[in-house]
């Protein structure tokens, strides 16, 4: 009988997580050649290739995918034994992608609580538009992402539905103007929905803000230079839902979804999703 090397199995997990030998080696602080040698060692032990070429890169072979299922159990057991008898915590890096347009305070609270309960986990947080986050996850760049969408596609963990509303400056008057000034970028997920609702209602519009991040839209709206679209229940400095008494068309709800990538960090990513769920539920309750 031959013994399996935990470090080699951990490297196999990293290749599965990052989708490339180079990125996996960087994450494990080792050279690409050293990681490749570990994969060859597994090839020799099992008489099966771990990696197969696909396009310009490599992917796990069908055999390696099956081995990975059992390998994760062995790595997890190793880490649990080390933690129990030495008190040392496993240091895991969790890559989180968040939509840039909502829940700053609540998400920050969720991240802080998670960090306090999981001192051995390093968090790397990036923001972006939902469609970009999904594409980045497909490329292996995130372990967990939080998105705003108008449905719950396959693979999504649906957290809540929150109504969208027209927002403007405190005491806004710009919502009464015609054509209506709109302070949302065309790249915003809410923009096409809002434009379709306005067109159906026969309300002419013009773009009141150049393309930019959500901060640009919010500043423009807070200056009463236009209206913007945001989920209800979110407190934004200088902004409030517009009480238009039906002068502006209703908007559909947005779905708050979480996606968890398959990889070595899947369990801890799923745990982090629970913290996000609590944050979302607080916002949903405030919006109700």
Structure confidence at residue 157 (pLDDT): 86
Structure confidence at residue 16 (pLDDT): 76
Of 167, 189, 150, 186, the closest CA to residue 242 belongs to 167
Domain end: 66, 86, 106, which one? 86
150 or 175, higher pLDDT = 175
What residues have CB less than 8 Å from 232, skipping those under 6 apart?
162, 163, 164, 165, 241, 287
Q: What is the mean pLDDT of residues 93-115?
A: 78
Evaluate if residue 55 carries a pLDDT over 80.
Answer: no
Q: Which long-range contacts (CB under 8 A, 24 or more apart) does 189-196 make?
A: 189/129, 189/130, 189/131, 189/148, 189/149, 189/150, 189/254, 190/164, 190/229, 190/230, 190/251, 190/254, 191/229, 193/150, 193/164, 193/229, 193/251, 193/252, 194/229, 194/251
Evaluate if residue 89 carries a pLDDT over 70.
Answer: no
One domain, residues 191 and 253: yes
What pLDDT, in 10s, does the model give residues 117-158? 777 788 888 888 888 899 988 888 888 999 989 887 888 888
CATH number of the domain enclosing 116:
3.40.190.290
**DSSP readout, 157-195?**
EEEEEEEEEEEEETT--GGG-SSEEE-S-TTSTTHHHHH
Evaluate if residue 213 carries a pLDDT over 70.
Answer: no
83 or 40, higher pLDDT = 40
Beta-strand relationship, 144-149 and 57-60: unpaired
What pLDDT, in 10s, does the model give residues 148-160? 898 878 888 888 8
- The residue range of the domain holding 12 is 6-86
Evaluate if residue 252 carries a pLDDT over 70.
Answer: yes
Evaluate if residue 103 carries a pLDDT over 60.
Answer: no
Evaluate if residue 278 carries a pLDDT over 60.
Answer: yes
Structure confidence at residue 104 (pLDDT): 63
Structure confidence at residue 14 (pLDDT): 81
Rounded Cα–Cα distance for residues 127 and 99 (Å): 5
User: Percent of the chain scored above 70 by pLDDT?
Assistant: 91
Q: What is the mean pLDDT of residues 38-62?
A: 88
Evaluate if residue 65 carries a pLDDT over 70.
Answer: yes
Say how many residues make up the chain: 288
285 or 162, higher pLDDT = 162
One domain, residues 42 and 132: no
Evaluate if residue 102 carries a pLDDT over 60.
Answer: no
> pTM of the predicted model, to two decimals?
0.66
148 or 58, higher pLDDT = 148
For residue 1, being part of any structural domain is answered with no
Mean pLDDT of the residues in the chain: 85
CATH number of the domain enclosing 51:
1.10.10.10
Domain end: 62, 86, 110, which one? 86
One domain, residues 185 and 269: yes
């Amino acid at each position: 009988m031959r013994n399996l090397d935990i470090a080699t199995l951990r490297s196999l997990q990293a290749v599965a997580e990052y989708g490339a030998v180079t990125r996996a080696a960087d994450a494990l602080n080792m050279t690409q050649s050293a990681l490749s040698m570990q994969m060859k060692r597994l090839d020799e032990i099992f008489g099966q290739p771990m990696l197969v070429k696909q396009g310009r890169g490599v992917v796990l072979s069908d055999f390696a995918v099956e081995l990975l299922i059992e390998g994760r159990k062995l790595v997890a057991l190793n880490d649990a034994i080390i933690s129990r008898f030495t008190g040392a915590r496993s240091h895991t890096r969790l890559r989180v992608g968040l939509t840039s347009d909502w829940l700053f305070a609540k998400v920050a609270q969720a991240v802080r609580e998670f960090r306090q309960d999981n001192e051995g986990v390093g968090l790397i947080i990036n923001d972006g538009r939902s469609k970009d986050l999904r594409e980045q996850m497909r490329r292996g760049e995130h372990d967990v992402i939080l998105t705003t969408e108008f449905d719950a596609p396959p693979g999504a963990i649906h957290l809540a539905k929150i109504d969208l509303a027209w927002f403007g400056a405190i005491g806004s008057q710009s919502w009464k103007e015609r054509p209506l000034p709109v302070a949302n970028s065309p790249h915003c997920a809410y923009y096409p929905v809002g434009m379709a609702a306005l067109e159906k209602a026969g309300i002419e519009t013009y773009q009141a803000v150049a393309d930019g991040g959500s901060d640009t839209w919010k500043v423009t709206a807070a200056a009463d230079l236009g209206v913007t679209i945001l989920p209800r229940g979110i407190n934004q400095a200088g902004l409030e839902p517009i009480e238009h008494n039906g002068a502006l068309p209703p908007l559909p709800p947005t779905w708050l979804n979480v996606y968890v990538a398959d990889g070595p960090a899947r369990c801890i990513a799923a745990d982090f999703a629970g913290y996000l769920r609590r944050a979302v539920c607080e916002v949903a309750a405030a919006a109700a």
